[in-house]
Structure 1
Amino acid sequence: MPGPRVYSEHPLSIAHEFPLDDQAAIHLIRVLRLTEGDPIRVFNGDGHEYNATLCQVSKKSAHFHVSAIERSDALMPLSLHLGQVVSKGDRMDFTIQKATELGVSDITPLWSERCDVRLKGERLDKKVEHWQRVAIAACEQSGRNRIPTIHEPLNLSQWLATVDCEKKLLLHPHNQQPLTADKAPSSTALLVGPEGGFSDDEVALSAKNGFDGLLLGPRILRTETAALTAISVLQYVWGDFR
């Protein structure tokens, strides 16, 4: 497979030249020691991976010339929207990274009653930008050419009232049912709570908004384990793991 794979924010087209962003250029030039004419692979989230060659290489910058589309991602049979209550430390980064690798299409960070993380204003804006970069890096590593959307964080009640999916599932330790191999839905919303779980009122509100409990075995899973386990199961039964 020719050359390392990098992300570009530009709308790419064949037979045109584009600048690399500074971080990618420095990595390719200083770390990987690439020079002018070396092949690379580029994606921008439009579903394609492009063949390209480096050009106009200097100590801190470089351009690339697009030569062809190498491959394209098929549309996923199951659109997965993860509603994840924001978790502490690097757990949220981990969840976003792995959920991206597993094929989710949308991620909405949520605030709930027992959420221990509170961010506002500029700190929140920077965190959302950081989460989007985590998703891009996961696509870069995994070979995925469609980047999931990281939505603006919402209160749980707002998301429950507005999320529009054919199937809606809630991870909660009580009143759950195993997943059945029914006719595959085209879209699924998956709701995952914080370390302390959802309150009874939040569970009731979820049910009122059409969410069914999903059973993932006899053990209570950590928030990041629960999300990734459920995504894997859904992809196996209804998605592109089949």
Structure 2
Amino acid sequence: MDLFYVLPRQLDLDHARATIDSEEFHHLARVLRCQPGDLVPITDGAGLAAELMVEAVGKHSLEGAIKNPRHVPPPETQVTVALSLLKSPQRFDLFLEKATELGITRIVPMITKRTVSTPDSGKIERKLERWRGIVQSAARQSRRLHLPELTPPLAFRDALSLDGYDLRLIAHESEKTFPSFEPAGKKILFLVGGEGGFTDAEVAEAEAAGFTPVSFGASVLRAETAGLFAVALVRSMLLAEADPAKRL
């Protein structure tokens, strides 16, 4: 069964109780036909792993007792991708979904010189709400105990100022090399441009800010493919890692 997410307001850990409503309730009650007595895997998206013994299913929510709660720390290896907003919303949605499945830690929608589609301030919150729904659905299916962080869109220069990373890389089609590095246990930030990629001035500005330009191969990838490649690259490098805590 998929993993289901409960918000802090729906959790009463002191009394080992939880309620599920909204989209998660719809999936459980209408799609999976959940009944009293069923055990449902739940998480708060911040490391809680538990089961909900369903006791009552109403019209708009279900509730029950929390069983076998435990806390799982986040992976030591963390990957952030700052990806330019794309002209096609469906392509950005695809990135959100698949990057979540692959284990991304943080998603930063970015506005660069060549970003074609820039939402106005009045629509940002609605877009973020829809994006969060896509991320949560993908995380449910892939049984992630830690939901990726999704930030509001950032300007390119603000993305350059993101700190706390051990490795900061910018993908650029004119670059010919990929630096050798060991990702295990590190916090890694990739910058990925949109249609048309980054301008030469942006690459130079990123280098001056401490970013290393990298190649993703001889063929030019679509923006969403490049963003997914970044996450999959790190994931594949960690498959042989002996310590599961360092894997995505």
The answer for unaligned runs of 5 or more in structure 2 is: 239-245
1:44 partnered with 2:44: yes
Output the CA distance in 1 between the equivalents of 2:151 and 2:185: 22
CA distance in 1, matches of 2:142, 2:71: 14
Partner of 1:9: 7
What's the offset of the Cα at 1:110?
Answer: 0.6
Deviation at 1:223, TM superposition (A): 0.6
Is residue 124 of structure 1 aligned with residue 121 of structure 2?
A: no
Counterparts of 1:227-242 in structure 2 under 5 Å? 227-237=227-237, 240=247
Contact residue 178 and residue 216 of structure 1 kept, 8 A: yes
- Aligned-partner residue type, residue 157 of structure 1: R
Asked if residue 76 in structure 1 is aligned to residue 80 in structure 2, the reply is: no
Q: Could you tell me how far apart the structure 1 residues matched to 2:137 and 2:231 are?
A: 19
Distance between the aligned counterparts of 1:120 and 1:207, measured in 2?
30
Secondary structure of 1:230's match? helix
CA offset digits 1:21-75 (Å, max 9, x no partner): 1322233222222221211111111212211111222233211221112x65453
Using the size of structure 2 for normalisation, the TM-score is 0.87
CA distance, structure 2, for counterparts of residue 207 and residue 31 of structure 1: 50
SS of 2:168's equivalent in the other structure is strand
Q: Secondary structure at the match of 2:57?
A: coil
CA spacing shift, 1:57–1:110, aligned 2, 3 Å: same
**Inter-CA distance 228–26: structure 2 relative to 1 (3 Å threshold):** closer
Partner Cα separation in structure 1 for residue 100 and residue 16 of structure 2: 29
Q: Give, in whole Å, the separation in 1 of the partners of 2:150 and 2:221.
A: 24
Aligned to 2:241: none
Please name the residue that 1:139 is paired with.
139
Taking structure 1 as reference, are residues 182 and 58 closer, same or farther at Cα in structure 2, changes over 3 Å only?
A: closer
Seen in structure 2, the aligned counterparts of structure 1 residues 143 and 185 have a Cα distance that, compared at 3 Å, is closer
**CA distance change for structure 1 residues 172 and 185 in 2, over 3 Å: closer, same or farther?**
farther
Q: Aligned pair in 2 of structure 1 residues 185, 213: CA closer, same or farther (>3 Å)?
A: farther
Instruction: Give me the whole-angstrom Cα distance separating, in 1, the residues matched to 2:97 and 2:104.
Output: 10
| 119-128 or 58-67: bigger deviation | 58-67
Q: How far is 1:184 from its partner?
A: 4.8
Q: Can you give the 5+ residue segments of structure 1 that lack an aligned partner in the other structure?
A: none
Does the CA-based 8 Å contact 2:2-2:141 persist in structure 1? Answer: no
State the shift of 1:193 in Å.
0.4
Structure-1 separation of matches of 2:64 and 2:164: 40
Residue 34 of structure 1: aligned partner: 34
1:21 is matched with 21
The one-letter code sitting in structure 2 at the alignment partner of 1:63 is: E
Correspondence 1:86-235 to 2 at 5 A: 86-87=85-86, 88-182=88-182, 184=184, 186-235=186-235
Range that drifts further, 5-14 or 104-113: 5-14
Per-residue CA deviations over 1:126-179 (Å, capped at 9, x if unaligned) read 111221222111111101100111112110011102333111111110124223
Contact kept? 1:78, 1:186, Cα under 8 Å: yes
- Cα distance change on mapping 1:161 and 1:48 into 2, 3 Å: same
Q: Which amino acid aligns with 2:17?
A: E
Separation in structure 1 between the aligned mates of residue 128 and residue 140 of structure 2, nearest angstrom = 19
SS in 2 for 1:20: strand
* TM-score, scaled relative to structure 1: 0.89
The range that moved more, 128-137 or 187-196, is 128-137
